[in-house]
Structures are given as C-alpha cells and as structure tokens.
Amino acid sequence: MPAQWSAPVRYVECDQQGVVFNAHYLTWADEASNGWWASMGLSWEELVERRIDPLVKASSLEWSASARWGDTVTVDAETEQVGRTSVTARFTVRVGDRVCCVVRTTYVAITDGRSTPWPDDVRARLAA
C-alpha cells in the first residue's frame, strides 16, 4: 500500500483559469515524500545522523486532469526504482479516483557533498 498525503486545494494554489498552478504538484509531492520515507522506516533524523543527504536530482510531471479549488487532492507515494546511488519515487496526485498528475522524483544519496552508494540496510529498505 502506498504512503499517502492529502489536503484540500486552497484558493491561492489556483491560477486565473481556476485550476491548480503546475508548481503546486511538486509541492504536494514534496509533502508526500515525508510519509514515503517514513513508510520505509527512514526518518530524516536517522538519515542526517548517518550523514546521508538525499538530494533531488530530477523531477518530471505528467498531467492527465486538473485539480481545482474546492477539490481534495490525495497523493499516493511509492518507490518506483532503486539504483546504487539513487531512488525514484512516483507520486500519483488524484482527486477521488481521477488521476490528475504523476510526479516522478529521483533522489541521489550525497555524503560530504558527493554522490555515494546507499548503505546496504538503507538500500534494502528502499527496495522492500
């Protein structure tokens, strides 16, 4: 089961056409990422304590419908791919059963400012 985050669409998140401005989908994916990391037993506190700094390498967005003011969006967060030094999460933004946007974000493990392989135990949790 994916980790989930949900919130009502606020008026300030909408453009003059009455639909959610595209940058807010990235914000929602970022909000959902906290629950996604936690669902694998990886708190930010643990990662920081272990000197692992997951940085965003890339994000892509693919829209299929608009969210509007008054809707409630739910973001389903799941691991899509685990590499040696990176992991890609898929954030499916929906209103009810209607998918509005899929955000894919790739995080790279950084230690002391350089890309580094995930520690074995972290990689195992990411891949589980």
Q: What is the pLDDT of residues 97-122, one digit of tens each?
A: 999 999 999 999 998 888 999 999 99
Determine if the pTM surpasses 0.85: yes
Torsions phi, psi for 55 (to 5 deg): -110, 150
CATH of 3-127, one of 3.30.1360.120, 3.40.50.720, 3.10.129.10, 1.20.120.340: 3.10.129.10
Q: In the chain, pLDDT over 90 holds for what percent of residues?
A: 85
Contacts of 100 (CB under 8 A, 6+ apart): 20, 25, 63, 64, 65, 66, 67, 73, 93, 94
- Structural domain spans, the chain: 3-127
Q: What is the pLDDT of residues 33-59, one digit of tens each?
A: 999 999 999 988 888 888 888 999 999
Nearest to 64 by CA among 28, 101, 90: 101
Q: What angle do CA 70, 25, 99 make, to 5 degrees?
A: 70
pLDDT of 83 > 90? The answer is: yes
| Mean pLDDT for the stretch of residues 10-16 | 95
User: In the Cβ-directed half-sphere of 88, how many Cα atoms lie within 13 Å?
Assistant: 11
Residue 73 has what pLDDT? 98
